[in-house]
Structure 1
Amino acid sequence: MGDISLLTIILGAVAFFAVGAIWYSVLFGKAWQREVGLSDETIGNANMPLIFGLCFLFELLISTMLAHQFAMTNPSDRGKMMIAIGYGATLMAPAIGINYLYQRRSGKLFAIDAGHFIVGMAAMGAVYALMD
């Protein structure tokens, strides 16, 4: 098994978090807010430090799993990108889709959220490709 870099794990999670910050603010913030039915007031009253903190912890968990995958398989940089995007497109997005089918969520919301996971995983994969 190869080495696992704590710095790369953290930077991978930071990259995913940064994608989310951009995705759910300037790119799709208002559309996402409409689709989930949250008002500005509801969002303003949320405990954002807790939400952001837990989100980052989940992204650290994802980054840690990706680090283990790469340590076990030692892929090329291209392989790292393929695996990372593949996780987003073929594991994460379908899992969201299954939940959204039962929750009767819109296809638009699915596209926003699934897109976030695919692009976020691409950003995380790029960190691994650049760092390792």
Structure 2
Amino acid sequence: MEFNFLAVLVAALVTLLVGFIWYHPKVFGTIWMQESGMTEEKAKQGNMLKIFGLTFFYSFMLAFIMPALTVHQMGAMGMIGGPEFIDKALPSYAAFMADYGTAFRTLHHGALHGFTSGLFIALPITCINGLFEQKSWKYMLINAGYWIVSMTIMGAVVCRWI
């Protein structure tokens, strides 16, 4: 099983596409701006190259770990020490991969694992931060929802394409 760098890049781009839709004024953008205290003027003052560049960088980090969250075979590979140890693995590894090498490698399965990752990782982190920042539940749920949707799609892309 080879690592597919292109799949990770595409998964990282998902966050930008989902964000463009999710935070559009006709979806959740207007509510998010009200709840966050953001204004059009303040938004225009931001360094867009820095914002989108770092957003892509952090999204890439998330996409990079997504195979470990969505692809069961990554666990088997981890048990032998990684791809560089395939030649030294016990015969049971080769037998497992022969039997299950492509099992559960679907869009739906990846979406399920991406969704649960968003629900059990992104939602708690977002809400904990929001509670300490004294943000509203609307704000927290809009941001957490964005990450749940993004991670669901990222998981589908990575699980099917890696």
The aligned counterpart of 1:56 is 56
Q: Deviations over 1:52-75 (max 9, x none)?
A: 110111000000001244251466
Aligned residue number for residue 3 of structure 1: 2
- The aligned counterpart of 1:100 is 130
Residue 89 of structure 1: aligned partner: 119
Equivalent residue for 2:40? 40
CA–CA distance in structure 2, aligned partners of residues 80 and 34 of structure 1:
34
What is the one-letter code of the residue matched to 2:154? M
Pick the structure with greater CA Rg.
2
| Separation in 2, partners of 1:8, 1:131 | 6
| Alignment root-mean-square deviation, CA | 1.7
Give the Cα separation in 2 of the matches to 1:20 and 1:130: 22
Structure 2: runs of 5 or more not aligned? 76-100
**How far apart in 2 are the matches of 1:57 and 1:34?**
27
Cα distance in 2 for partners of 1:126, 1:104 equals: 33
CA–CA separation in structure 2 for the residues paired with 1:68 and 1:102: 30
Determine the C-alpha separation between the residues in 1 that align with 2:146 and 2:122: 10
CA displacement at 1:50 relative to structure 2: 0.7
Q: 2:147 aligns with which of 111, 117, 122?
A: 117
State the 1:12 CA deviation.
Answer: 0.5
- TM-score normalised by the chain length of structure 1: 0.90
Higher relative contact order, structure no. (Cα contacts within 8 Å, ≥ 6 residues apart): 1
Structure 1: any 5+ residue segments left out of the alignment? none
Return the offset for 1:22: 1.0
Deviation at residue 33 of structure 1 after TM alignment: 0.7
Give yes or no for the alignment of 1:72 onto 2:74: yes
- 8 Å CA contact 1:15, 1:127 repeated in 2: no
Which residue of structure 2 aligns with residue 19 of structure 1? 18
Q: d(CA) in 2 for partners of 1:114 and 1:80?
A: 19
Contact 2:14–2:153 under 8 Å retained in 1: yes
Identity %: 29
TM-score (norm: length of structure 2):
0.74
How many Å apart are 1:17 and its aligned residue? 1.7
Tell me which amino acid in the other structure corresponds to 1:81.
A
Quote the offset at 1:129 in angstroms: 4.0
- Deviation, 1:43, is 0.5
